[in-house]
Structure 1
């Protein structure tokens, strides 16, 4: 896919595109990091202090959201490093801990290779020990091999802290120690000792969720709202037909919980607005991801605007989006009527579109809605396929944005403008929550 033609694209446009992608999608840097570090502990202040010490910058702000994971990126001697500051997981109920650990790993794709456990010795009791064991179990059986204890206060260690130090191979560092080189060396040793392996979600954290996340996309707001009503079996449901923001609605369909997002039309909007809404769409499906993109179209010839919308969606979410896309053709009456069937079979643009989406399509009557079970069956077949991931995740999103960054930087280098600076600076990313 060619995003830019260097012969026709000005340096200012490339630089603006580069900056806009970085602003809304800093996940691309997470995907490239050699050191992927997670901070776990109770104290927000101490985690902020340690994170800023590691990055050697005041990137973490103690005033920012303390209920969600926050990543920040930087460099050590030319190598990318990403640090994720977690909220106080010790105070969360178990299900919320599972969700946040899964989200943490998705933000630091493909998974962390170092866990730093912040402990105040006088306050680390038996109940904290048990909760930490549960938290680390969600990172897999090798979590302790990737862990180091960070002592936040110079106090006498009790039995629980001594147990933790033993489980971590006596790896420890004092937060009062200002030797950045020593901390860096200890972190690098952990990565080397584990032969560059990383931690991922255990089966318990990635077990199938009961909510099915579906994103309805396309040029026509009225068609998408009608599709929402048809799927949920309700009337006058959904946002304004020409809403400029994602609209999320939920309901029960065929005995299962379904979450529907109406993605506004993106074609023709400024790039920054396109990225902002795409970012919001991903956020609203976090951490499970998007199980299917449903492209809503009437039975008719594709217009230039339709084609532009499809291209914009693919450019924004990357070519991987077609692996998770099925087409919903909306009709008012009989979906099996010969004119409907013949048009879909004979129109070249429609056939090429269907083939690009793996042949996945369904014609749905907005009146009787009898095809909704078929629609969900197709989503399940796509979602449960062994040929690809079960959902479109933030990690996949990150790879798509990384490809854009690399392509844009290649264009910048070709133009050889000395005033354009490469993207080697620090970025704070707070993933929006619905």
Structure 2
């Protein structure tokens, strides 16, 4: 293919835009499953409610950042045609400027009148112009005859052949059930087909000169339709009412993805945040105040196209605003995350070109407190008042002068830029000391942040308090290995010695399936190498290790015969933490490969009355993993750690909700020991009383 310079430029830029793809098809054809196959993970829900509305999810696929929009099934018996139409058209108008591609989903089966009706309905909704942006994807690929390609299947039907021709020959095939794992025939793998599909979309985008199916095109087509058929006022009201309702419940991830790159600007009052937004946008977007208190009282956002990039800038109130309470200010600044849900792709930390004092350092400390270290992966430092630089000095030269400042910029991946909102407005655009030059460099840095983080953003989950989980079990049960399996990384050291490899409580925090998790690994019960009281004190320290307390306990047992030794572990937990702990507990079995073929962990538990009783105390919550043999996805989904970890995290979330978001606290622990002390005191008094009576009787007898 001969590409012009403009299309080559588009191809190079395409990796940094958000590629929006809408899936269309009748109910039950496999749209949600196809979306999951493309993203390589189960992110789309199959609940009746979720299938009735448009839902969008984003992910990185083969080096591209992709947003997939799953739509309700066409030709639905459960809702009126107008209601369905307004839901689907509403999703298109929400992902402005519009989707880059549509996937028309059909099954590998005979093309009936119903399939033809689906295509007709799509063209009625969007006009035949949609086919310029469409690819046909067939599901249930395993129905193809051995060795048959999808193109050969298409050739068997005049109607299919005509449809694919209108889509410029673009078609692919997947099988969401049988083609998940690699097979001898590469053609019959979803990985191969997804790569082929994305290549076809790339070529289509180049052919369409980087354009998308815009809301303007949709509006013009609808206007033509309205001219042909004037609906009644009642019908118009019905459509409008449903559209408004659907917008209320639409996932904000959808809107975030559609806005392009999202940038939050942070800094103390007077640093020049609002002015920076105006400088980047090249126009007066936000009003600039020059008083002592922060001019920006609430988070405010603006979306503009700057240097061929669609960006949304979020301006935040100044840190250390003397005019409002700390908690009120914190709540408003954190709202910037929800303002641009699912989250910003970049943070710009604003500092002035001036002496770096404790006040500037306090800004960085405050950001660390609000957003955690994770935020620095998405951050760049922007200095204002650039005219304060010495003649010929760059911002990097300035940073090198101060060790603390150098350390902060280092945390942000050494990303820093400088502008001057007052004096550098009209300088030569090629000069270092011009805002135009610096803004171009800054946007390139934001692109780099976007790519380095694979198109992900700083999410609400990262902001949320992590779920704190304590792992308990006897020596050798596999506690450290379980923690590593949950994290998907070798975080905790593993010892295969007879004594406990974990001698002290240790904790680590990671993001797992978009949840922040803190795991506390504890020494093994019945460690032969230390005194009982010493061991008890160390295990109880886990409560302070994850203050104010754990949201869940994981009690580890092996898939093996439940003996008095295993029961002693449960008794020990009861002694240390009381019955209350079981409200927060789940049992996790290791060595899952010891299960019989086809046996579930629930089946195993049912075999032993005592074990069944223990799991019952924990709300019948139990899971199984195998740290050695279930690492890689097996043909049987149940026997994979990935599946079991996802199920376990869901259980932990259920525990969290069942307990009203509370955790097992020091107060609960203290109540246990108060009771123990009372019982011991009672026993001591009883012994003393018995001793006194014995002595009185002895004297009386004398």
RCO higher in structure (CA 8 A, sep ≥6): 1
Q: Which protein is richer in helix relative to its size?
A: 2
What TM-score do you get using the length of structure 1 for normalisation?
A: 0.45
- Structure number with greater Rg is 2
What TM-score do you get using the length of structure 2 for normalisation?
A: 0.28
